[in-house]
Amino acid sequence: MTATPSINPLPNRGLRVGVSIFVRKEGGQSMWENGIFQNCLFLVMLLMRSPVVAETYLVVGGSDATPENAKEFLAGAPVPIIDMNEASTRLDVMIEMSAQLAREWVVAFRERGGKIVSMRVGNDYVIDIERMIFDKPQGLLISAAPYHEVWTLPEYERTCQPYYASAFRAPVRLMPHLWSPLVLEREMARTRPGQRFEYQPGKRRWRAGIFEPNICMVKTSFIPMLVCEMAHRENADLLKHVNVFNTFHLKEHAGFNNFATHLDIVRHGIASFEGRFPFTEAVMRSVDVIVSHHWENAQNYVYYEAIYGGYPLIHSSHLIGSCGYRYHGFDCEEGGRVLNQAFAEHDQNLASYRATANAFLLTLDPEYEENVRTYSEALAALYTH
């Protein structure tokens, strides 16, 4: 008996795949604004290596922007940049990522035979409930767009995977997180030509940096501040300074002010509350150790950038292997002990720390064979039943 052919066979010429990226008409964007812009770049880098993909594009979406508006922001992009109109007729697969697609566009694209994937790389469940409960502007749109699949990351398996499956009425697939030092190295070449982004051993005291964005409760400065507080109480000679970035807007908030002014790191004058700066510039200027925390957000570019540079990373993530120095959950007292341990051990173990980090970071590379295979198989699966 002859096997029944697939109803939607994979095109023999290879797939033409687009990744949506939000571009503001007025410009002024940076790859450092948020992780999703970098994630778009890393995904197209991977798609260029995929044996099932013939052509890859970045597709400009949002606020009536055009590819012309994206010229400076996406300078050096490795793939062509097209608009939504061209994407509707040129592509076989559209991956919605940084710019959410209008339901009408998705329906029309499907009717032409296109495949639609929504790639979700933020903790939309938490973001959405915060915005609804606290009457903030809407986040993710439940638009009834008919996606073929939703792709997300292992860090969202508990919170977002069932949320997406129910809200979007589509199967959800966990996909590898991607990262490359490309953006970091470009930034270094632009701002500090000839210098390397790397930890400098031999400091008598450490300057800590806390980089949580403080715009959603999954990544805030409160636990890292308490980690530094506990380490300082145990050893007052450890920390020279604590830079709490992305908190300038909180300085006058009564609750935050009350919390902060009761800490010894504030009372003793070693903490400051700063604005938002590019990670490389802030670290090179004033940081020796990165102290972090997450809540259901265990894969984070700051972690990767820190360990890439050999900087000690104090963290609570279960998804970065044996890299950095881990404490568990919300245990800031354990975090303080871990910070003291890192200070005692890091310099003498720097070579092995770097080796462990490099081995892990290889598994995130967009050109890593296992990552290319996983994404290629997921694309091919769109054409099977």
pLDDT at 19 over 50: yes
* Domain shared by 173 and 65, yes or no: yes
Q: What is the pLDDT of residue 114?
A: 97
Residue 237 domain flag: yes
pLDDT of residue 59: 94
Let me know if residue 185 belongs to a domain: no
Amino acid identity at 58: L
Cβ pair 211, 200 in contact under 8 A: no
Per residue in 294-324, pLDDT tens?
Answer: 999 999 999 999 999 999 999 999 999 999 9
Looking at residue 2, its pLDDT comes to 38
| pLDDT-derived band at 291, boundaries 50, 70, 90 | very high
pLDDT at 77: 84
Q: What is the predicted pLDDT for the residue at 61?
A: 85
Q: Give the ranges where the chain is alpha helix by DSSP (H).
A: 35-47, 84-90, 103-111, 124-133, 161-168, 182-191, 222-234, 254-261, 264-267, 279-286, 301-308, 332-345, 350-362, 369-381
Mean pLDDT of 170-176: 98
Judge whether residue 73 has pLDDT over 90.
no
Same domain, yes or no: 298 and 371: no
Share of the chain above pLDDT 70, in %: 95
In tens, the pLDDT along 75-114 reads: 778 899 999 999 999 999 999 998 889 999 999 999 999 9
Q: 174 and 39, same structural domain?
A: yes
Distance CA 8, CA 112 (A): 12
Between 19-23, 88-92, 200-204, 225-229, the lowest mean confidence (pLDDT) is in 19-23
203 is a domain residue: yes
One domain, residues 173 and 288: no
Assign residue 145 the CATH number of its domain.
3.40.50
Is the pLDDT assigned to residue 141 strictly greater than 90? no
Determine the Cα–Cα distance for residues 247 and 220; give it in Å rounded to an integer: 9
Q: Which residue has the tokens 């008598």?
A: 204
Taking a C-beta distance cutoff of 8 angstroms, is the pair 279, 211 a contact? yes
Whether residues 104 and 211 share a domain: the answer is: no
Q: What is the mean pLDDT of residues 48-71?
A: 86
Report the amino acid identity of residue 328: H
Is residue 307 packed enough to be buried (19+ CB in 10 Å), middle (13-18) or exposed (0-12)? Answer: buried
- What is the per-residue pLDDT across 318-345, written as a single tens digit (0 to 9) for each? 999 999 999 999 999 999 999 999 999 9
Same domain, yes or no: 165 and 205:
no
In a domain, residue 173? The reply is yes
Claim to verify: residue 223 and residue 176 sit in the same structural domain: no
The stretch 353-380 carries a mean pLDDT of 98
Residue 1 falls within a domain, yes or no? no
**Minimum mean pLDDT among 6-10, 253-257, 298-302: which range?**
6-10
Count how many residues are written for the chain.
385
Sheet containing 206-210: order of strands? 271-273, 239-244, 206-210, 289-291, 313-315, 325-326
Q: How many domains does the chain have?
A: 2
> What's the maximum distance between 2 C-alpha atoms anywhere in the chain?
82
Residue 9 falls inside a structural domain: no
CATH number at residue 267: 3.40.50.2000
163 and 242 part of one domain: no
Please give the torsion angle defined by the CA atoms of residues 373, 375, 381 and 383, in that order, rounded to the nearest 10 degrees: -110
The answer to whether residue 7 scores a pLDDT higher than 50 is: no
70 confidence band (pLDDT: 50, 70, 90): confident
Over residues 150-165, the mean pLDDT reads 97
Co-location of 159 and 27 in the same domain: yes
Ranges of H-type helices in 192-239: 222-234
Examine residue 130 and state whether it is found in any structural domain, yes or no.
yes
**Distances in whole angstroms, Cα of residue 315 to Cα of each of 230, 302, 336, 366:** 15, 11, 11, 24
Q: For a pLDDT cut of 90, what percent of the chain falls above it?
A: 80
Range of the domain at 27: 15-180+365-381
* DSSP reduced 3-state for 132: helix
pLDDT of the residue at 299? 97
Do 76 and 131 fall into the same domain? yes
Query: Quick one: pLDDT at residue 385?
Result: 59
The whole-number pLDDT of residue 179 equals: 97
Check pLDDT > 60 for residue 355.
yes
Looking at residue 6, its pLDDT comes to 41
Q: What pLDDT is attached to residue 11?
A: 80
Q: Do 230 and 356 belong together in one domain? A: yes
Q: How confident is the model over 245-267, as a mean pLDDT?
A: 95
Token pair 């409160």: residue: 222
Quick check: is 10 in a domain? no
Same domain as 230, residue 156 = no
pTM (2 d.p.): 0.93
- Phi, psi for residue 140 in degrees, rounded to 5: -60, 135
**pLDDT tens sequence across 29-45:** 766 667 788 999 999 99
Least confident among 114-118, 125-129, 221-225, 338-342: 125-129
Look up residue 41 and give its amino acid: L
For the segment 172-194, the average pLDDT, to the nearest whole number, is 95
Q: What is the mean pLDDT of residues 164-192?
A: 95
pLDDT value for 168: 94
